[in-house]
Amino acid sequence: MTILLIVLFILLAALLCLNTAYRASDTILHRKNNRKPVAIFPDQFKLPFENVIFKNKAGITLKGWFVPATQGSNKTIIFMHGWGMNKGNILANTYFLRDAGYNLFYFDFRGSGESGDGVTSIGYLEIQDADAAIETILQTRPAQAEVLGVYGLSMGAAVAVYEAAHNPNVKAIAAEGCYYSYEKVVTRWAKMHKRVPYFPMVALTLYFARKRLGLNPEKFSPKHNIRQLQGKPIFILSGSDDQLAPRHDARKLYAKASNPKQLWIVANAAHTDSAEVAGQQYKNRLEGFFTKYL
């Protein structure tokens, strides 16, 4: 009887573990119940803008803002936000680039901000959204998008690296808080926020995510794509205190990137905090990069 109870206990524990891991994969694949509303808008900074509504190839409606340059410009920078964020979070720290001669296009990935619901993936599926955003700008504003740059933050940086590596229309990229590996960033997030060990919970969660997506998102990680920039300029920014996408990730990406390339480890900055911590120096460096290469 004792052995039977032990076996039953093990089976129940295994089932509980599997159920918990499956539900945890929903955190990766669905943001419907925990998306943050957009709280920062262009008119709060007295910026002229146009609402842009478009669809990705999966038919999901995506929403964005097009902010024209102070004076007419044929250069546009497309902004890609992080997981759990939205376009407003990036706007506040980057709209200064409008005065530097750039049109700015901000949009929400699927399941974020004002965009429609859809399965998310912390990178892979969001590439579809970025593809649609770039194509929308090229088709609807060709004169203002003769030269395209991209800026990505956290997850958005990983997507931006992929776009720069595979889309010939992208001429330069700034990647801030960019993770090196999809699996490692999920593992770090689980450890930091849920105190969950890799084995067995994170390993099972990643397994279910792969099965439900029908592929392995790890293949779309920046570490596999950054070598394909083929001479496109890249500016890699990382906070010295970033625990989610740590500075050694930034250094590994920098080592793999081709020239021209820049790396800036922002002292005392945590994940996605570089703009707030570095202030004017952040503005000067980001503007200087795009001025030089766009």
What is the percent of the chain with per-residue pLDDT over 90, rounded to a whole number?
70
Task: Output 220 or 266, whichever has higher pLDDT.
Answer: 266
Confidence category of residue 28, pLDDT binned at 50, 70, 90: low
Q: Do 133 and 77 contact (CB within 8 A), yes or no?
A: no
User: Which tens digits make up the pLDDT trace of 282-292?
Assistant: 999 999 999 99
User: 57 vs 197, which has greater pLDDT?
Assistant: 57
Question: Hey, where are the domains in the chain?
Answer: 35-184+216-293
Query: Does position 8 have pLDDT exceeding 80, yes or no?
Result: no
Q: CA 141 → CA 41, 47, 164, 171, 267, distances in Å?
A: 22, 18, 20, 17, 38
Contact indicator for 40, 91 with CB cutoff of 8 Å: yes
Going by pLDDT thresholds of 50, 70 and 90, the confidence category of residue 26 is low
| pLDDT for residue 155 is more than 90 | yes
Q: Is the pTM of this model over 0.85?
A: yes
Confidence check: pLDDT of 63 > 60: yes
Q: What pLDDT does residue 87 have?
A: 98
Under the banding of pLDDT at 50, 70 and 90, the label for residue 104 is very high
Give the pLDDT confidence of 159-190 residue by residue, as tens digits: 999 999 999 999 999 999 999 998 898 889 77
CATH class for the domain made up of 35-184+216-293: alpha beta
Calculated CA dihedral for residues 55, 112, 272, 50, nearest 10 degrees:
50
DSSP 83-150: TT--HHHHHHHHGGGGGGT-EEEEEPPTTSTTSPP----TTTTHHHHHHHHHHHHHHH-GGG-SEEEE
